[in-house]
Amino acid sequence: MKSKIKNLWWLICAALVLLSIPVFWANKTSIEVNIPSVSAEDLKERVEQTQKASQALALRDTKRRIFECKTDDDCIIVDKDPCGCIAGPSGVTAINAAMTIDYEKIYHPSVVKECPNKAPSKLRECSANAHPVCREKVCKIIY
């Protein structure tokens, strides 16, 4: 009886070896993997693009916050044009008072403009009764 079990065991082992041969032959063919190479210049360019994109998002967020408000007291009237009311009604705008420095950095970065020698406009936004208000969370000028 023992020899029958032993022979059956050898038969099973031989069958497993024969059945596993195709598995080993299948692995003889290599699998091609294409990994794109990234040079230092490509990496530097991608980093610069990412930095520019994040700076653009930060600038857009700052521009949005410049005109954002909660109450009328948050808003002030500032010169949109370096000449202010001399440029006419479009020469001023209303912004959040806390964002004045950011407004100047973004909209008037070291601008030197010679203004004409004429009296400031008395129309609309430049009139004496113009004042800033907060409407729908945005600073505006009413008159």
Q: How many domains does the chain have?
A: 1
Given a cut of 70, whether residue 31 has pLDDT beyond it is yes
Domain that residue 63 falls in? 59-142
Q: Give the separation between CA 62 and CA 73, rounded to whole angstroms.
A: 20
- The answer to whether residue 50 sits within a structural domain is no
**Beta-bridge partners for 131:** 142
Indicate whether 13 pLDDT > 70: yes
Q: What confidence tens digit (pLDDT) does each residue in 70-114 have?
A: 999 999 988 887 777 776 667 788 999 999 889 888 887 766 666
Mean pLDDT of 49-72: 92
* 30: in domain: no
